[in-house]
Amino acid sequence: QKSGVVAVVGAVRRNHGTRCRRLQVVEVGLWWRRVAVEYLYTLFIHLFSRPD
């Protein structure tokens, strides 16, 4: 009985860990996309506001 509970808790903890890691990967991806968009935006601003 006790070993079954331990196995279930271990499986839940392992599943939760992978889910958290996946969420972290998604957050990092979104952050990178936001940084790239901001960088391109500032780059376009600099290119089009050049006084020539």
Q: How many domains does the chain have?
A: 1
pLDDT at 39: 96
Give the domain extent around 27.
Answer: 1-52
| pTM recorded for the entire structure | 0.48
What pLDDT does residue 31 have? Answer: 94
pLDDT of 52 reads: 64
Q: What is the pLDDT of residue 36?
A: 96
d(CA 45, CA 7): 57
Helix (H, G, I), strand (E, B), or coil: what is residue 50? coil
Q: Tell me the pLDDT tens digit for each residue of 18-52.
A: 888 888 888 999 999 999 999 999 999 999 887 66
CA-CA distance, 52 to 45, in Å (whole number)? 14
> In angstroms, rounded to a whole number, what is the distance separating the alpha carbons of residues 36 and 23?
20
Structure tokens at 37: 């968009």
